[in-house]
Structure formats: C-alpha cells, structure tokens
C-alpha cells in the first residue's frame, strides 16, 4: 500500500511527522474524502473548492491547484492498482512552536490516504437513531471538514459501533442537524426537505449535488429549521455522503418509512449512478438526464 506525503509516494510506515506538527498539537488541519470510480474522482472540483476554503480559513498559506489535486489522486490510486477507491486528501498546518500563533503557516503537510472500495460493500439501507448528544457549534463562522472530530466520535460511541445505524444530531435548540458522517434529507408529499447550513452543519459536497440535482429535476426543495417530529412525519428519508452516496432510511427511532424502491429517492440514486463516472462539479448539471453511454465517459 502507498500513500502520498508532500508529493512523494511511500509506504505508510515510512511517513514521519514532527512532534511540533500543529495539525496534531492543535487540530489545525482540513481534509476531503471522496470516491474514485473506475479511476475517476467524482465531483473533485467541489471537493477542492471546499478544501481550499478551509485551508484559507485556518491560516495556511498555500494553494493546491486543480491539476495537482486531480493528478496526485490519480497517481496514488494507480500506484495501489485500485480503480475504485476511497481517498482522503489531508492538509495540516505543519510544524510550529509551542503556543498559539497568529501568523500564517507556510509549510503545510499534505497526505493522501487511499483504500479500495467495492460497491457491493456499501450499505443499501440504514436505520437512524436520534442521538442524546447534541451537535456542537462550529469552531468558526461555518463548519469546516477539519480535524475536530470529537463530537462525531462521541456520537459514534453512543451507537456502540452499530454499522447498520446512523446517528442523527439535533442542535441545542432541538432542530434536526445532520448525521455523524452524513447530511440528512426527507420527502413529504413529493417535496424535499433538509436542514439549512445555518444550523451549523457541514455543507457536504454530496448535499450540494443533491440540491442542484433536485432543482434540475424540478423537485421542490425546502432548507430550514426543522424539528425531530417533522422528520419523523416524512414519507421517506435518506442520508448522503461522498463514500456511501445516497442511503435510504428504513426508520428514524421507532418510526418506519415506506420503501423507496420506486420513489423520488430511487430517481436521485439513478441519476447519481449516471453522473459518477464523469462529473467534476455539480455546477456542470444541465437539467438533462444522463444516459447509459455517460457511464463510460
């Protein structure tokens, strides 16, 4: 197995980080997880945009070009001889003195991790459980995909590692927020609902894709502040992330949903499958549904 560290391919056991690495000491780092399909990194431009915004927000003075981002992911995946893979592109602040500096970091550490994925290993359906632990507020104005994952880990511990269940966070005010590693959507009377990013959730790349796709398919969308009871009153619901894609929920707590086999969820899943072999950004959606030939582009 190979990783990429600062542009150099190496075995994981060869990688070294300074004990003064501020990504380790203070959690100053951001990352993106994305999925590669037959060698193609789906929605890579959107992942790079969010990564670049996070880098700037935490004060790392560097630029990752689109060409480098794409080619380095491709290089690591090819080195491991994987066509379908999970990729984590991680950028941390780099080495610094003890204490909390206000100056920009100029020598960040970039690590690309990968592992093989098989579609048959992805969940077809999950249950959801409302967590008693509340979603913490973002560290800054918006939630970054950063190294600050304690809230997520404590939520996962509350579930006791149940792989078939996703935990759903509520905000301190009692509004539906997001899953431990996902965004959440639900359907009521043919219309789509999802929490607003003003609740403090991560603006997931797959979330942004779904919102644009729904608009192109003329599906009404409502972003807002919603109660747990409104979620439970839905006709059906699903969660999204860049690795598991679109996963229908069979139930939230003790409230069951109808089967999504011939539903709006199935329509979104079908479009996702058509796009994932060639779409570099959700902004490229044109309103025209894909076709079988698109899968080979």
pLDDT per residue rounded down to tens, the chain (297 residues):
999 999 999 999 999 999 999 999 999 999 999 999 999 999 999 999 999 999 999 999 999 999 999 999 999 999 999 999 999 999 999 999 999 988 999 999 999 999 999 888 888 999 999 999 999 999 999 999 999 999 999 999 999 878 899 999 999 999 999 999 999 999 999 999 999 999 999 999 999 999 999 999 999 999 999 999 999 999 999 999 999 999 999 999 999 987 665 589 999 999 999 999 999 999 999 754 443 333 332
Q: Is residue 134 part of a domain?
A: yes
3-state SS, residue 208: helix
Q: Are residues 134 and 221 in the same domain?
A: yes
Q: Is residue 189 part of a domain?
A: yes
Q: Are residues 93 and 155 in the same domain?
A: no
Q: Are residues 55 and 171 in the same domain?
A: no
Q: Is residue 59 part of a domain?
A: yes
Domain end position, chosen among 101, 119, 137: 119
Domain end position, chosen among 119, 151, 167: 119
Q: Are residues 283 and 138 in the same domain?
A: yes
CATH number at residue 46: 3.30.470.10
Q: Are residues 152 and 269 in the same domain?
A: yes
Q: Are residues 60 and 89 in the same domain?
A: yes
Q: Is residue 297 part of a domain?
A: no
Q: Which two tokens stand for residue 188?
A: 């009521």
Nearest to 41 by CA among 87, 10, 82, 75: 87
CA distance 92 to 246: 29
Q: Are residues 151 and 276 in the same domain?
A: yes
Domain end position, chosen among 84, 119, 154: 119
Q: Total domain count for the chain?
A: 2
Residue entry with tokens 């080495």: 95
Q: Are residues 150 and 273 in the same domain?
A: yes
Q: Which two tokens stand for residue 71?
A: 């080619």
44-57 and 205-216 helices, crossing angle to 10° = 130
Q: Is residue 177 part of a domain?
A: yes
Instruction: Say if strands 236-241 and 183-188 run parallel, antiparallel, or are unpaired.
Output: antiparallel
Q: What domain range is 39 assigned to?
A: 3-119
**CA-to-CA separations, 258 to 51, 85, 262, in angstroms, rounded:** 37, 32, 10
Q: Are residues 75 and 139 in the same domain?
A: no
Q: Are residues 172 and 229 in the same domain?
A: yes
Q: Are residues 163 and 21 in the same domain?
A: no
Q: Are residues 55 and 89 in the same domain?
A: yes
CATH number at residue 163: 3.20.10.10
């Amino acid at each position: 197995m190979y990783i990429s560290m600062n542009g150099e391919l190496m075995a994981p056991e060869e990688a070294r980080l300074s004990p003064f690495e501020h990504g380790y000491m203070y959690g100053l780092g951001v990352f993106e997880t994305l999925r590669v399909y037959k060698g193609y990194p789906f929605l890579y431009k959107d992942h790079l945009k969010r990564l670049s915004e996070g880098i700037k927000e935490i004060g790392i003075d560097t630029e990752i070009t689109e060409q480098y981002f794409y080619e380095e992911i491709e290089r690591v995946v090819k080195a491991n001889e994987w066509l379908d893979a999970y990729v984590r592109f991680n950028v941390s602040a780099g080495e610094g003195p003890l204490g909390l500096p206000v100056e920009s970091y100029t020598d960040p550490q970039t690590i690309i991790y990968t592992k093989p994925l098989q579609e048959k290993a992805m969940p077809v359906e999950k249950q959801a459980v409302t967590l008693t632990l509340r979603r913490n507020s973002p560290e800054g104005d918006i939630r970054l995909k950063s190294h600050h994952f304690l809230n997520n880990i404590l939520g996962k511990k509350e579930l006791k590692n149940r792989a078939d269940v996703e935990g759903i966070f509520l905000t301190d005010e009692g509004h539906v927020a997001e899953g431990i590693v996902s965004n959440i959507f639900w359907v009521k009377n043919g219309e789509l609902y999802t929490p607003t990013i003003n609740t403090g959730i991560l603006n997931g790349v797959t979330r942004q894709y779904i919102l644009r796709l729904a608009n192109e398919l003329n599906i009404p969308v409502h972003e807002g502040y919603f109660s747990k009871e409104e979620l439970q009153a839905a006709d059906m619901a699903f969660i999204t992330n860049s690795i598991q894609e679109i996963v229908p929920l069979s139930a939230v707590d003790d409230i069951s949903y109808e089967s999504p086999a011939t539903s709006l969820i199935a329509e979104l899943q079908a479009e996702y499958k058509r796009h994932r072999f060639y779409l570099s950004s959700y902004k490229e959606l044109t309103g025209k549904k894909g076709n079988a030939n698109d899968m080979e582009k």
